[in-house]
Structure 1
Amino acid sequence: MSGANPLDFISEYWIDAWQRSVLTLDVLRQRGNIYLEHSARNAPHVLKFKAELVRDGRTLPRPVNYALVRIVPTEGPETDPTLRPFVVVDPRAGHGPGIGGMKQDSEIGVAMAAGHPCYFIGFLPKPEPGQTIEDVCVAEAAFLEEVAKLHPQSEGKPAVIANCQAGWQIMMMAALNPELTGPIVLAGSPLSYWAGVRGKNPMRYLGGVLGGTWMTALAGDIGKGIFDGANLVANFESLNPANTYWEKGYGVYSKIDTEAPRFLDFETWWGSPVLLNAEEMQWIADNLFVGNKLSSGGLRSSNGVRIDLRNIKSPIVVFCSWGDNITPPQQALGWISDLYDDETEIVANGQTIVYTTHQTIGHLGIFVSGKVATKEHAEFANCMDMIDLVPPGLYEAVITEVEPDTANPELIKGKYLFRLEARTMADIRAFGGNDEADDRRFATAARVSDVNLGLYRTVVQPFVRAAVTDETAELTRSLHPSRLRFATFSDRNPFMQPIDEMAQWVRANRAPVSPDNPLTVMETVVSTAMTTWLDGFRAGRDAMTEALFLSTYGAPVLQALTGFGPGVASAQPHIERDLAREAVAAATRGQLEEQFELGGLTEAAVRGLIYIRMKAKSVDERGFSMIWAIRGLRPASERMHLADMKKLMRTQYLLLRLDEERAIKAIPKLLPDDREARREILDLLRKVLEAQGALTDEETERLRLVEGLFDVATLPLTKKKEISPPSLQSPLAMAPVAHETKH
């Protein structure tokens, strides 16, 4: 503050407050104009990258409003055609497409920075007539086939990053087409909709409190067969009234000199709701939101094929956050315990599941935050081949900063170390979840929903459909608050037209208030009080919602009427046994019995490597970087294909799990008589092992055992060696031609 008058701080504050008010109105005016311009486009999106159309879903035999585009590199490193392509799929959950590539530090941006060709699956604002969820899954399968055809030089199948709603849709597609995808990254994607913990996750109660999905049908009828995605946007906003009704607006007002560009970028995406066919939304509400049928195998395709997530053979990476109130970790990970009782079942099924949890980031931050993109998503992109190669099982991805004393930092990409640690089903259950009583409540709510939906369709629906016209449906959509609040502040409103000139004058004469102005401090206090009050309102509302749900659907009489009374089998969602799958697993075990003594020097080396590391139950990117460096010594035409490496690693791992003692004792039978070749492979084995730092005592002991099985003179290990790719043409370089096999 300046000036001799002690009351000058009042005028200083009010001048600044008036200027901020004008500038905030101007930002809202710009937002409204952007909304109108954006809505008028045929294919509105918020991608910051140049893209070219590859496949239009409207031309498919079963037309959909989806499209596949290729991201065209315009700056940064050139993409490498030998690297696996990445496909980012945006959620069609009310908002328009492009959030996965809104800025340079994004899912698309970090994948391209790692040299991967990138593609994007987006959608148009309006669905095709008669379009269904299954049609979209068929289209996504066609898109991935197209991507694979465009990259014949790539060793790995396309990696798919699926955000929020796109996650469960891609999982359905992959369950029906398991041969199409490489690793699947599920970012904030719900798959187990009943899961959660008491006192949190209020969104899972919404369907039951509203009496089921009859209101979804009503909304579709009012829309003349179209469901307005703005309703989904409103549901998201209702979860955090403090942010919706105060913090977002006040954040712009209080930091108007710096916040406007970020605000406008985000609101361009947030304020562009899209439409769904009523049938699509009804399917989602009945089968997922309330029915919770995906993870329990309760869904079938139109030709009767059960959608079983256990069919997916490519690695599944789950990225969730404790700060996410839309898809909490229980909903993102609960499907694992719905499918498997024990982690050994995951291994037997040949599935690799990796999860990681963020401590604070919110739902949208999982795929919007630049900090998340440059850490978690960048590490996923850099280490995708490692994830693809690890043996089947359940893992947690642990991402830590590289410390000054970290061993062999030259083998680490970027400033973070990516590590996979083996986990058990107990770790998944430790996240919390429903007990048997809660599952009965949700099952009761699902049954009540079916009854209410049937009553609505019988008694009310004919009258609603008779009363609604195309004109009234369009008017209803245009007057939705999620659209009206944008259009109201645009230049279409004559009262907003003077704001532009006023804002220009204010910017030319800007006089920001001093940060120590007493009224500025008071303003901050008032803002905090408003946020606290709205948070208190939310907490009370959520507690009342939970109590209403628990008491209503926990009533013994209602449970008995819906078939979930005493004596009824468990209502817990769990997939049923699959005898055909069990037969395949038994046949696989039989085939493994014949492979203990099958192979050569490469199989012996990989078996020894896995044996030495098995007790650690942890692996990080440095060991894989060394394997990749060794592999890179061979000409490209002579390297083992990634798919063959994956098969080799998994076979040797399963042999060790089946009978570790027998597998180790069989190693000498795999070795050639050439002692120099044995020595060479042991040298390289040490380099791979030492890449992660000093070995533990147990690992050292196991290494000595393996050395003894190789029967060559060895040099003692040192605590620290310089790690550099060897110049030898070693079998550990994963040559496609097998060495001499001994039986």
Structure 2
Amino acid sequence: MNFFANPFMPTQARPSGGQENLAVSVSEAMTTLMDPFGFGRAAFDYWRDSVERSVLYLDVMRERGNQYLAHMEQTKPSVLGFETEVLVDGRTLPQPTNYELLRVIPPEGVETDPLSRPFVVVDPRAGHGPGIGGFKPDSELGVALRAGHPCYFIGFLPFPEPGQTVEDVVESEVAFLRHIIERHPETTEKPMVVGNCQAGWQVMMAAALEPDVFGPILIAGAPLSYWAGEHGKAPMRYTGGMAGGSWVTAMTSDLGNGLFDGAWLVQNFERLNPANTYWKKQYNLFANVDTEANRYLEFERWWGGHVVLGGEEIQYIVDNLFIGNRLSTAQLVTRDGRRIDLRNVRSPVVVFCSRGDDITPPPQALGWIRDLYDDEKDIIANEQTIVYCQHDTTGHLGIFVSSSVSRKEHTEFTANMDYIDVMPPGLFETTITHVDEHDQGELIERDYLLEFTPRNFDELDREVMHEPEDDRRFATVARISEINLGLYRIFMQPWLQAVMTPEAARWIRRMHPIRLGYKLLSDRNPMSVPLPVMAEQIRQDRHPVGKDNLFKAFETMTSDQIVTGLNAMRDARDSATERLFMDIYGQPLLQAAVGLYGDAHVHRRRPGDEPEHRRFLEQRQNELREKIEQGGAHEAVMRAVIYVLGGAPATDERNFKRLRASRAALEPSTKLSDFKHLVREQFFILKLDREQALSSLPTLLKGQSNAEIDAHLTHLEDVLSASGELSEHAASRFAQVSELFSQARPAVKAVESSPDTPQQPPAKASQAPAKATQETPAKATQKAPAKATQKAPAAKSNASTKKPTASRRKPPTKG
């Protein structure tokens, strides 16, 4: 039966056959006479549509509740969209944890190469269950699988093992990576590891302790510097101070009988954006219930998959990271005495963050670089490569969930992992541009191109926006947190631990408002019994209205006003919280009471170098000095490429592709690890003594024939032109390199003459007469960078070079 039939045309009186059109015309005419402006019809259509949408909306919420209950009843709940097999169960390790190493089975039609670099995704354990890094085809795992990489996933179970600590989790991840390396003995490259959100700092801790098991590291939306943040845009960093420290965390764990309910963390995230939590997300489903149901349920399956953390784990995280900020200042020490110093990470680190992220804003994602190093030269001295990429708009979850981000940013990171792995040490920013903005299309295999630009700390400071005055405030919070935690443990904790039982803790978890919201709208509620029947009937005879309906437009406008009002309330709340925090913890009297007032105290000390590290650097420099004149043509070419590109404002994957392809042609057995070693060694030699490194190029090329030197110069031109036209500074460097290569040419034999003819000294190759020119292939026909060909053709004489010869008579200078 149709409950929403046209009231002007009753169902039982509706004509059939040829009379129907006439009856409808009469009905429309009558309706027009009764409602000439159409307000009544629009109102009725909107009323009918809104009633139908309400029923369908409630039915979707019922399905959400059923989905939640079924998900939480699983032994190993996960939202992974790919089939997997368990390789290592963390519960079987010497220090048991609730983590697992899974091998991702490629879907049908997708093939992976076992010789390719393994790809590992580590999911965040911040209140939700595992699987978000691969819960749909366009995800981090989906991108890597399509690229042909063997993929692995590190997930976790809903409940921790008894006595499990953060250090145990870190050691488990190291054990998992060792197992992956053992599974790929023929692959010399170490696994690329992706750490999302909270998993990012876990991965960095593991890489600092065991750097040899990591390849390139991508940390997406991962907070590492918790005191950092821009005023007015980082509300979460004030949470610990406004709560009086970490005693609240300890109390919550005690109420859980030693377990911390992750639903409290999810609630903190939801409070950041009340407009989205309480209205926008739900209204979007209501307004588009015919098309949004599946997408909504897919996301809610992960968002509602709450897990539990151990009380000792969460206390360590809050005390040492959120409030203490000890990770980014190398103050963490393991129980066996090892210092966790992120400067020990030897793998390239890619930091992916977003300006639209209110949970991990760019200052918190990048501030650790400023905390650890004095400048970009300090990064180079520690042989580290740090690349950062900033998205303009996406939110926190979009960094590792959004399909558009996966198809663009994550696809480029995955495709360029080998290039990132061989990049020289330093600080770089990467940008992703569409291929339409570039030429050299034969070297670009995808729709986007990843470009790398060297950065200095002045440019980094504009992103970090460090405020020294804030450091003292957050240090005061850390001291007060320690005091309040101590008082709680003396006066309140014994009483709570005495009265709490496992049954009471489970009841409190079940009654959490977020968990309860899922259960109340499910089939376990008797009031929901008629919903599926009504929803199915409506789907069979749906009457949606368009956006041109007057009342539907009023509905949209009202929704926008509600969102604007909630956003205004949020902004007022965040602004008041920030002012209150600054006023309370900026009080000199309070700072003095906890021993922090005065300029004599430095609260964000940069960790100094250990004596052993200084001796290592000195030994390394001595070794490099001995290698300046050691090697051959490969070392000379690589040194020249690094020197010329060092004068370019940016570089991209095209240079790497040509350089690696040409090297593979010359030495087919060359491994990527050897190639990386060659690049880094020549980079450090140039940094150590540029003048001697350049002046020794003819020595490295000694014994090469004219044809071989010409081939090297052709190769250089081909590589350097891959990214387009050279800058004026880079072209000048190329001219300098061309001259040095020409100095290595074999001396021209003197022409036989009579005793009366005076003997001339051998001419340099660049000044050779016609006879020497005949022995050498003409360089004028070679393809060269646009500016370089005008300023320094490789084998032409100085007379034909526009670069002044006076500059070539000087020895190579620094800078």
Q: Normalized against structure 2, the TM-score is what? A: 0.86
Aligned to 2:366: 333
In structure 1, C-alpha distance between the alignment counterparts of 2:620 and 2:492, rounded to whole Å:
55
What is the SS of the residue equivalent to 2:514? helix
Tell me which stretches of 4 or more aligned residues in structure 1 moved more than 6 Å.
Answer: none
Aligned to 2:701: 671
- Counterparts of residues 684-703 of structure 1 (less than 5 Å): 684-703=715-734
Return the match for 1:437 from 447, 469, 476: 469
Greater CA deviation, 202-211 or 4-13? 4-13
Greater CA deviation, 694-703 or 224-233? 694-703
- Counterparts of residues 319-718 of structure 1 (less than 5 Å): 319-403=352-436, 406-633=438-665, 638-675=668-705, 676-711=707-742, 713=776, 715-716=779-780, 718=783
Aligned to 1:145: 178
Letter in 1 for 2:725: A
Matched, 1:62 2:95: yes
Return the match for 1:211 from 231, 239, 244: 244
Greater CA deviation, 559-568 or 700-709? 700-709
Larger Rg: 2
In structure 2, C-alpha distance between the alignment counterparts of 1:317 and 1:431, rounded to whole Å:
16
In structure 1, C-alpha distance between the alignment counterparts of 2:252 and 2:361, rounded to whole Å:
27
Aligned to 2:11: none
On the 8 A contact 1:76/1:113 being kept in 2, the answer is: no
Cα distance change, pair 156–495 in 1 and its aligned pair in 2 (3 A): same
In structure 1, C-alpha distance between the alignment counterparts of 2:462 and 2:179, rounded to whole Å:
41
Letter in 1 for 2:425: P
For 1:597-656, what per-residue CA distance to the aligned partner results, in whole angstroms no more than 9, with x for missing partners?
Answer: 011111011011111111114210111111233244368xx4222121111101111111
On the 8 A contact 2:362/2:464 being kept in 1, the answer is: no
Alpha-carbon offset, residue 82 of structure 1: 2.1
In structure 1, C-alpha distance between the alignment counterparts of 2:110 and 2:194, rounded to whole Å:
21
Aligned to 1:730: none
In structure 1, C-alpha distance between the alignment counterparts of 2:426 and 2:396, rounded to whole Å:
27
Alpha-carbon offset, residue 491 of structure 1: 0.3
Letter in 1 for 2:669: R
For 1:540-568, what per-residue CA distance to the aligned partner results, in whole angstroms no more than 9, with x for missing partners?
Answer: 11011111111111111110011111243
On the 8 A contact 2:192/2:214 being kept in 1, the answer is: yes
Alpha-carbon offset, residue 703 of structure 1: 2.5
On the 8 A contact 1:77/1:113 being kept in 2, the answer is: yes
Instruction: Compute the RMSD of aligned alpha carbons.
Output: 1.5
On the 8 A contact 1:436/1:570 being kept in 2, the answer is: no
Letter in 2 for 1:590: N
Aligned to 1:316: 349
For 1:139-193, what per-residue CA distance to the aligned partner results, in whole angstroms no more than 9, with x for missing partners?
Answer: 0000000111111222310000000000001100110001110011000000000
Aligned length: 718
For 1:80-119, what per-residue CA distance to the aligned partner results, in whole angstroms no more than 9, with x for missing partners?
Answer: 2222111000000000000000110000011111111110
In structure 2, C-alpha distance between the alignment counterparts of 1:639 and 1:595, rounded to whole Å:
23
Greater CA deviation, 509-518 or 212-221? 509-518
In structure 2, C-alpha distance between the alignment counterparts of 1:720 and 1:292, rounded to whole Å:
49
In structure 2, C-alpha distance between the alignment counterparts of 1:240 and 1:521, rounded to whole Å:
25
Aligned to 1:729: none
Letter in 1 for 2:358: N
In structure 1, C-alpha distance between the alignment counterparts of 2:219 and 2:605, rounded to whole Å:
21
In structure 1, C-alpha distance between the alignment counterparts of 2:688 and 2:605, rounded to whole Å:
30
Of structures 1 and 2, the one scoring higher in RCO (CA 8 A, sep 6+) is: 1
Matched, 1:113 2:146: yes
Aligned to 1:156: 189
Cα distance change, pair 227–558 in 1 and its aligned pair in 2 (3 A): same
Letter in 2 for 1:84: R
What is the SS of the residue equivalent to 1:419? strand
Alpha-carbon offset, residue 518 of structure 1: 0.9
Greater CA deviation, 598-607 or 680-689? 680-689
In structure 2, C-alpha distance between the alignment counterparts of 1:409 and 1:250, rounded to whole Å:
45
Alpha-carbon offset, residue 573 of structure 1: 4.7
Q: Normalized against structure 1, the TM-score is what? A: 0.95
Alpha-carbon offset, residue 427 of structure 1: 1.4
Question: Which runs of 5 or more structure 1 residues have no equivalent in the other structure?
Answer: 722-743
Aligned to 1:265: 298
Matched, 1:31 2:64: yes
What is the SS of the residue equivalent to 1:127? coil
In structure 1, C-alpha distance between the alignment counterparts of 2:236 and 2:293, rounded to whole Å:
31
Letter in 2 for 1:698: H
Letter in 1 for 2:223: P
- Counterparts of residues 226-305 of structure 1 (less than 5 Å): 226-305=259-338
